[in-house]
Amino acid sequence: MSVNRLANGTTKPFLREELFLAKQKSTNKPVEEVRIGSVKAAIWKNDTEGGPRFNVTFQRIYRDEEKGWRSTDSFGRDDLLVLAKVADQAHGRIVALSQQRHSEQTT
């Protein structure tokens, strides 16, 4: 388990939910999203010296009776085929984004 060191020198456990909330507050947005049912992929663009690179994060969205809508990066047996389809669609979008960038450079 990771810990956060506070300004006063004390530590507290680093919770995954804190990281998730910090990401939600970030102004950084994915360039594309793919969603089928409760499974979602976010496509992120990272500009590098060699050109843009794309990464994908996957989430499963569910409803918690106490806290409303939540998300997790854990998938059950019944989610796996949907996850594979979402991953395939995310791959296709990345290929299209890369081709679009390539055609813009050649014109």
Residue 27 tokens read as: 């102004």
- The C-alpha atoms of residue 54 and residue 30 are separated, in whole angstroms, by 10
Asked whether the beta carbons of 4 and 69 are under 8 A apart, the reply is no
State the Cα torsion 77-78-79-83 to the nearest 10°: 90
Q: pLDDT tens, 23-82? A: 555 578 999 999 999 999 999 999 999 889 999 999 999 998 888 999 999 999 999 999
- The C-alpha atoms of residue 94 and residue 34 are separated, in whole angstroms, by 11
- The C-alpha atoms of residue 17 and residue 72 are separated, in whole angstroms, by 10
- The C-alpha atoms of residue 26 and residue 39 are separated, in whole angstroms, by 21
Asked whether the beta carbons of 39 and 75 are under 8 A apart, the reply is yes
Sheet holding 68-72, edge to edge: 32-36, 39-48, 51-64, 68-72
Q: How does residue 15 score in pLDDT terms, banded at 50, 70 and 90? A: low
pLDDT for the residue 103: 75
